[in-house]
Structure 1
Amino acid sequence: MSTRVTALDTLRGVAILGTLGTNIWIFTDPDGIAGFISAAATSGPAETVLRTISNGKFLGLLSIMFGVGIAIQAASADRRGARWPGWYLWRAALLLLEGVLHYVLIFEGDVLAFYAIVSIPVAYLAVRSDRALRAWTTTAAATVHVAAMGLLTAAIIAAGGGIDGGGLPPLPDTWPDQVRMRLDHWPALRTEGLFVLPLSTLLFLAGVRLWRAGAFRPEGRALRARLMLWGLAVGVPLNFATAFAGPQWFLVDRYVCAPLVAFGLLGGITALVHRMREHPGPLRTALTAVGRTAMSCYILQNLIASALCYQWGLGLADTLGHHRPWFTIAAWITVSALLMAGAAWWVRRFDRGPIEAVWHRLYLLPQRRRVETTV
């Protein structure tokens, strides 16, 4: 596997386990997502630091990598002379279906459905000129998104309020009741889409531009250095400042500062992979395996965490939830270790993850039928 591809898989692996670092706070809270949101306003300094480490930035990194994936597929279609987006729209439809099923059956914090929606306009924009992409990224996406977060934050501060989970129900005990809750309260549970959809558009487009600019190639060292400077030297202090400023700054913290840190993580991790390409080590090998099976690991990590924490499984959130944040940390380490070990075992034997293999067959199915009908 080439260094460039390995860097992409490693980044995806870090992003997948990083999103679990945010979601695990939901799983380990006895009240689920309602308790997770409410606790953000009352948590102590140690828990605030731990929440801030993962909150938003790994979801941002995953979004950037999704945009990179679109750019790679668009370039591949161009080399083959295939129509674009063409069959990619069928891929987006499959992702939307998978996201809806994941939301209803497993986890109310699903992002796959949002990604499917955003991927369609970005797929059309991915073949535009660099100038057009820059205009869409800086003007239509970044400016609008930052302005919206600023105005909403100003309104929250003026009203003396904050973000809380008062409008969401406590988590039911049984799996059928949890499914009914997600169906009955989907407008409230999907409210984050108002922020994720424009932000994901921005980050997807940024991923396309970074791929074109060579950020993942050896000669992209200067660009990676700039990403690290802005993301780590500027983004990290701003991220912690807004995290400790109070719940009124939640939107800026999660949807503005955290994505800025994600660019620094991308630059730093890619630089590290290139530096250590001769000796990957067991940790990076496992992270790369998670990245190669990213879709399977994303869904599986939520399923495992649900089985560990919810009442229809082992119910550890009720019995050990009062030991947070240590129980939360232990749960994240346990699930992450299981995923890394399982993914490393799987990729030694198969080319694709289990869900990726099923997805690939479904993606090719209408194309094969079209060929058979033509013949």
Structure 2
Amino acid sequence: MTTTATAEAAVGDKPKSERVLALDVLRGIAILGTLASNVWIFTSGFGTLRGSSAASSWLYNFSGWLPNGKFLGLLTIMFGIGLEIQRQSALRAGARWPGKYPVRALLLFADGVLNYIFVVQFDVLRAYAVVGVLVAFLLLTSERVQYWLIGLFLTVHFAVMAWQGHRSSVERPEMDPPPMDPTRMDLTRADTLPSDTISSSYLAEVVSNIKGLGWSFGYGSEFLTILLMGLGLFLLGAKLYRIGIFTEERRRLRFAMMSFGFGVALPLDYLLSMTSVFPSSLNQFARYGAAAGVALGILALTGEYIGRRGRVGAPRRMLSNVGRMALSCYLLQNVLGVLAQRLLFNRPFFQQLDPTYGTYAVFATISALLIVFSWAWLRKFTRGPFELAWNWSYRMLTREGRDTE
């Protein structure tokens, strides 16, 4: 095979620092956005001593819906962009592609397995690792073939979701969830935490997770769903970066993406999640379909905003720091959430808290910890702690003596 022609001229119009800032900010938004979605799982015990009225309020449901799936989609697209950046970097260095990238993917997969076993079961890293290896080789195909592959993979993804929804509605109609409960959002659910953080020991949960590891790759798992969705979104992210989505020449494309994301995908996501307009068998199309369209709008809006306001303000600097330590912050937010749920949130004080505003407070607290930690760490180091360990492992496995990007 031959590699596709790179479009480095297209992405090279802006100074490198501005391009990197936009990407780091987007990564930071994606990481904190996934926390905004998953934090409802950590706080699922809030309000249990207040009765059911608080948890059924419209604000509670809306607050859980708003981030759901959007930042998972954004994170997936950003992984595709990162893969294309690595490909272009390898070509500029005269190296073969994909070269040693499978080693990177193996390490990412190992991180995901450890995250699944010891922290939370709603892990995306394993799926991203597998998708990354597949897409790394697919990037060797022509531009036309990649366009067709994006359409093919997304079509298969939607078809599988439709089939799963149909089977669910036929086999278990009495178990259809009510519209929009933040703790029961499709496959990211409260039972994807270590299953009983109150009565069981941590060691017992680890053993249970090890026994269930094989099932986590099977039919109906979120791993398979993200795998199919990721193939299309990784290729789409790589394509967007290659054509220069963050350059001045692509402003019309960015506005088109914003129009689609916020004018079409967002209302559709709301109707699928928050209303009974569509049957419950189509609920997955919100988190793993329409929400990805909203993610395109977020990406375009962020790129346009940073392109217009070149100076680096405090909010963008904070988001950029989190983005530079994306892997560390992703893993750390899960660790903090599980520790808080196991050690604090099962106490009567938290069970009496309003679930909506209590969750807001937890999100703000964990976000602040991530922002402060990333700021303090990057004053001393160029990478986050997990990134440093990951890079050291990569160099050991590949026997490279120099630092790698």
Provide the TM-score with structure 2 as the length reference: 0.82
- For residue 205 of structure 2, the aligned residue among 169, 178, 181 is 178
Confirm or deny: 8 A CA contact 2:395 2:401 kept in the other structure: no
Aligned-partner residue type, residue 240 of structure 2: L
Alignment gaps of 5+ in structure 2:
1-15, 178-183
Within a 5 Å distance, the mapping from 1:121-270 to structure 2 comes to: 121-139=134-152, 141-158=153-170, 160=173, 161-162=175-176, 170-173=195-198, 174-186=201-213, 191-246=221-276, 247-270=280-303
In the TM superposition, what are the counterparts of 1:1-375 in structure 2 within 5 Å? 2-30=17-45, 43-139=56-152, 141-158=153-170, 160=173, 161-162=175-176, 170-173=195-198, 174-186=201-213, 191-246=221-276, 247-278=280-311, 280-310=312-342, 313-316=343-346, 319-322=349-352, 323-368=354-399
Give, in angstroms, the shift of residue 193 of structure 1. Answer: 1.4
Contact persistence 2:195–2:205 (CA under 8 A): no
Residues 99-142 of structure 1: per-residue CA shift (max 9 Å, x gap):
10111111111111111111111000123221111010012x11
Cα RMSD for the two superposed structures: 2.5
The letter of the residue matching 2:228 is P
Q: 2: CA distance between counterparts of 1:186 and 1:359? A: 22
Kept after mapping to 2: 8 A contact 1:238/1:257: yes
Query: What SS does structure 2 have at the residue aligned with 1:29?
Result: coil
Q: CA offset at residue 317 of structure 1?
A: 6.8
Q: TM-score of the superposition, structure 1-length normalised?
A: 0.89
For residues 123 and 305 of structure 1, the distance between their equivalents in structure 2, rounded to whole angstroms, comes to 33
Offset from partner CA, 1:21-50 (integer Å, 9 cap, x none): 11111111249xxx9xxx9xx844222211
- Classify 1:100/1:166 alpha carbon distance in 2 versus 1 (closer, same or farther; 3 Å): closer
1:369 shift after superposition: 6.7
Closer, same or farther: CA 295–166 of 1 in aligned 2, 3 Å: closer
Residues matched between the structures, number: 359
Q: Report the CA distance shift for 1:222/1:122 in structure 2 as closer, same or farther (over 3 A).
A: same
Aligned in 2, Cα 1:102/1:47: closer, same or farther, shift over 3 Å? same
Find the residue that maps to 2:123 and give its secondary structure. coil
Larger RCO (CA within 8 A; separation ≥ 6):
2
Q: Which has the higher helix share?
A: 1
Identity of aligned residues (%): 36
- Partner SS, residue 344 of structure 2: coil
